[in-house]
Homo-oligomer: A and B are copies of this chain.
Amino acid sequence: MAKVYIKGVGMTKFDYTQKFWWQFAYEAALEALENAKMKISDIDAILLSAISSAAGPESEHQVHKASMLSDVFKTNVPIVEVPAVCAGGGVAFWLASHLISNFKNILVLSGERLVESITEVTTDRILAASERILEQPEGLIFPVQKAMVWQQYMQKYGGTMDDLALIAFKNHQNAVSNPKAYFYQRPVTLEEIKNSPVVASPFRLYDCSLSINGGAAVIISQEKTDVELAGSGFATDYLLAFLRKDMTHYLATQIATKKAYEGAKIKPEDVDVAEVHDAFTSEEIIAYEDLGFALIGKGPELIRKGLTNIDGKIPINPSGGLKAKGHPISVTGLAQIYEITNQLRGRCGQRQVKDAKIGLTHNLGGNGGTVVVYIFRKV
Cβ-defined contact, A57 with B56, below 8 A:
yes
| Residue among A76, A77, A84, A367 with most chain B CB within 10 A | A76
CA A195 – CA B278 in complex, angstroms?
62
| Given A83-B81, A83-B83, A84-B81: A237 and B61 interface contact (C-beta under 8 Å) | no
A67-82: which residues lie under 8 A (CB-CB) from chain B? Answer: 67-71, 74-82
Cβ-defined contact, A252 with B56, below 8 A:
no
Among A125-133, A148-156, A159-167, A198-206, the one that faces the other chain is A125-133
Cβ-defined contact, B128 with A79, below 8 A:
no
| A251 → B minimal CB distance (Å) | 7
| A181 → B minimal CB distance (Å) | 27
Copies per assembly: 2
> How many residues does chain A have at the interface if contact means C-beta atoms less than 8 Å apart?
62
Among A92-100, A264-272, A296-304, the one that faces the other chain is A92-100
Cβ-defined contact, B370 with A67, below 8 A:
yes
Cβ-defined contact, A239 with B102, below 8 A:
no
Cβ-defined contact, A238 with B128, below 8 A:
no
| Given A76-B235, A80-B84, A236-B79: A102 and B1 interface contact (C-beta under 8 Å) | yes
Interface CB pairs A-B, < 8 A, 9: A51-B63, A57-B128, A62-B132, A64-B365, A64-B370, A66-B236, A68-B239, A77-B236, A98-B99
